[in-house]
Structure 1
Amino acid sequence: MTRSQSASLSPFADAHAAEPASRTPAVSAAAKPLPARAGRQRLGLLGWILPLAALGFVEVAARLGWIEARLLPPPSEIVQTLSALADQGLWSHVGASSARVLAGYGIGAALAVLFGLVVGLSRHAEAFFEPTFQALRAIPSLAWVPLLLLWFGIDETPKVILIAIGAFFPIYLGLVSGIRNVDRKLVELGEMYGLSALALARRIVLPAALPSLFTGLRNGLSLAWMFLVAAELIAATRGIGYLLTDGRETSRPDVVLAAILLLAVLGKLSDSLLKWLEVRKLAWSDSLATRAA
C-alpha cells in the first residue's frame, strides 16, 4: 500500500475509532438519569396507594354504617379533631414529644456507638459487657417505669432516660454486627500496609460497618418513638402520649386516633431524614441499593 493510499484511509479509520467514544457517553448521559428519576418518582407514588386506600375505605364504611363511627371515626372527623386540637395548643404537645425523642435518641445513640466500637473491636470487652447488655435488652419498656420514677422523680429526666434505653440496643447490636462481619481480607490487607490499630478501625472497619450502623440507627429511631408513649405515662402533662391517655380517659377515639396519626407522621418524617443521610453517606458502596438508586 502506497503512502497516499494509507493517508486516504486514515481519516476513515480515525473516524471509525472515534465514533464509539463520542457517541456512547452522549447516549448514556442523556438517557440514563431520566429513567432512574422517573422510576424513583413512580416508586414514591406507589407508597401512597395503601394508606390512601385504607383511609378511603374507613371513610366510606363509616358513612354507610358498616362500622360504628363512635368506635372508629372516619378520617374527616379526625382531621376536624386535629384542627380543634391545633387551636388548643397541639403544637406544644408535638414540640414536647419531639424534644424528648431528640434528647433520648441522641444520648442512646452516642452511648451505643461508643460501646459498640469497644465491644466490636475487643474480644475482652465483648466477654465483659455482652452478657449484661443481652440481659438488659430483654427487659420490657414498662418495667423500667417504676424504677425510673423512684430514682429520678416525675421530671423530664426519667422520660429521656427511658427513650435512650429504647434507642440504645438496636444501634449497639447493629454496629457490633457490622464490625464482626467486616471482610477479614480487608483487615489483613490493612495490616500488610502497616496501618495502626486506630487507622485500621478508622479507614477500614468503620466504613465497612456503616451499612449495619445505619440499619441500627433507623431501628433505634423507631423504638425511640415507641418508648415515647411509655415515657409520657410518667406523669406527663404535655406530649402526644399524654393525648393518648387523655383520649382514653375521656372516651374520645378521635383524639386517640389523631395522636396515633401524629406519631406515624413524625416517625415517618424522622426516618426519611435518616434514610436521606444514609443514601448520601453510602453513595460509595457497590450494592443493590445504590444500583437501584
Structure 2
Amino acid sequence: MNRTVKAITVAALPWYIPLIVLVVWQVLSSTGIISTRTLPSPDQVIRAGITLVGNGKLFEAIGVSTWRAMIGFLIGAGIGFVFGLLNGVISVSEKLTDSFLQMIRNIPHLAMIPLVIAWFGIGEEAKIFLVALGVMFPIYLNTLLGIRSVDTGLIEMGRVYGLSNWQLYRKVILPGAMPSILVGFRFALGIMWLTLIVSETIAADSGIGYMAMNAREFFQLDVVVLSILLYALLGKLSDLMAKWLERRWLKWHPHFAKAVSQSEA
C-alpha cells in the first residue's frame, strides 16, 4: 500500500505546479484582478472545450494536428537518423553531405513559410514539409554526436570477439549512441509542435492552430486559450512518451537503471 501511494505521489509530482498555476489563475479571475476580457478564466476555457467536444470540432482538430505532427516527425526523424548514421560511420559520406546539411540547418525553417506556401499551397504537404525540416537536424546532429562518442575501446573489443559490421552497429555502436539520439528525439518533439503551431496559424484550413485563428477573428479568447493549452498538453504527452522510451531502451545505462530501481523501491 505504501509503495502504491509513493508511486502515485511521484507520478503526480510534475503536475503540481501546473495545478497550482490553474488554481491561482482561477482565483485571480474570480476576484476580478485579472479581467476575463483580457484572459478568460479556467472555467470559461473548460466550458468552451465542452462545447467544442459536443459539436465534434475539438477532437477533429486534435486528430488533424496530431496526424500532421506524427507524419512530419517520422519523415524528418528518419532522414536525420539515416544521415547521422551514415556520416558517423562513413567518412566519405560525412565529407560529401555534412557541409550541405549544415548550410540548410542555418536557414530558419519557419522563414521559409512564404516559399513553402508558393510550392505546396496551404495543403497538408506544406505543414508536413515544415515539420520534417524542423525535426531533421536535432536527430541528425545528436545521432552523429552519439556515434562519435562511442568508446573506441568497446568497438575494438567487439572486433576482437569476431562481431561482423552489422553486429557491431547493432550491439555496440547504436546502444552506445542511443542516449544522445534520444536527447535529439526529445528536442525534436518540441520543435515539431512549435513548427506546427506557426504553420497552422498562418497557412491552414483545419487543425488546432486554425481553430485558434478562426476564434481570434470572433474574439473568442476562451477558444484561443484552449488551443494554447492543447498544444502544451500534447507537447507534455510527447515528452512523456520520450521518457518512456528512454526507460525502456536504456535499462543498461547506470542513470536509468538507478531511476528504475528507485521507482520500484
Counterpart for residue 42 of structure 2: 75
Query: What's the CA shift for 1:179?
Result: 0.5
Question: In 1, Cα distance between the equivalents of 2:43 and 2:122?
Answer: 36
Q: CA 1:105 to 1:124, structure 2 compared with 1: closer, same or farther past 3 Å?
A: same
Counterpart for residue 95 of structure 2: 127
Query: What's the CA shift for 1:132?
Result: 2.1
Deviation per CA, 1:218-274: give whole Å up to 9, x if none.
211221111111222453121011122123333222111100111111222232223
Counterpart for residue 14 of structure 2: 47
Counterpart for residue 64 of structure 1: 31
Question: In 1, Cα distance between the equivalents of 2:138 and 2:81?
Answer: 11
Counterpart check, 1:178 vs 2:146: yes
Aligned alpha-carbon RMSD (Å): 1.9
- Partner SS for 2:33: coil
Counterpart for residue 261 of structure 1: 229
Deviates more, 1:174-183 or 1:127-136: 127-136
- Partner SS for 1:48: helix
Query: What's the CA shift for 1:194?
Result: 3.2
Deviates more, 1:191-200 or 1:44-53: 191-200
TM norm structure 1: 0.82
TM norm structure 2: 0.90
Query: What's the CA shift for 1:195?
Result: 2.8
Deviation per CA, 1:61-98: give whole Å up to 9, x if none.
11111111111111111101111122332111111101
Matches within 5 A, 1:187-198: 187-198=155-166
- Partner SS for 1:220: helix
Deviation per CA, 1:31-90: give whole Å up to 9, x if none.
xxx76x665433222212101111111111111111111111111111011111223321
Question: In 2, Cα distance between the equivalents of 1:43 and 1:131?
Answer: 45
Q: Is residue 159–residue 234 contact of structure 1 (8 Å, CA) maintained in 2?
A: no
- Partner SS for 1:54: helix
Question: In 2, Cα distance between the equivalents of 1:47 and 1:193?
Answer: 45
Question: In 2, Cα distance between the equivalents of 1:142 and 1:163?
Answer: 9
Structure 2 unaligned residues grouped into runs of 5+: 261-265
Counterpart for residue 263 of structure 2: none
Q: Is residue 175–residue 209 contact of structure 1 (8 Å, CA) maintained in 2?
A: yes
Identity of aligned residues (%): 40
Q: CA 1:40 to 1:215, structure 2 compared with 1: closer, same or farther past 3 Å?
A: farther
Q: Is residue 110–residue 130 contact of structure 2 (8 Å, CA) maintained in 1?
A: no
Question: In 2, Cα distance between the equivalents of 1:128 and 1:233?
Answer: 37
Counterpart check, 1:282 vs 2:257: no
Counterpart for residue 100 of structure 1: 68
Counterpart for residue 144 of structure 1: 112
Query: What's the CA shift for 1:188?
Result: 1.4
Structure 1 unaligned residues grouped into runs of 5+: 1-33
Query: What's the CA shift for 1:103?
Result: 0.7
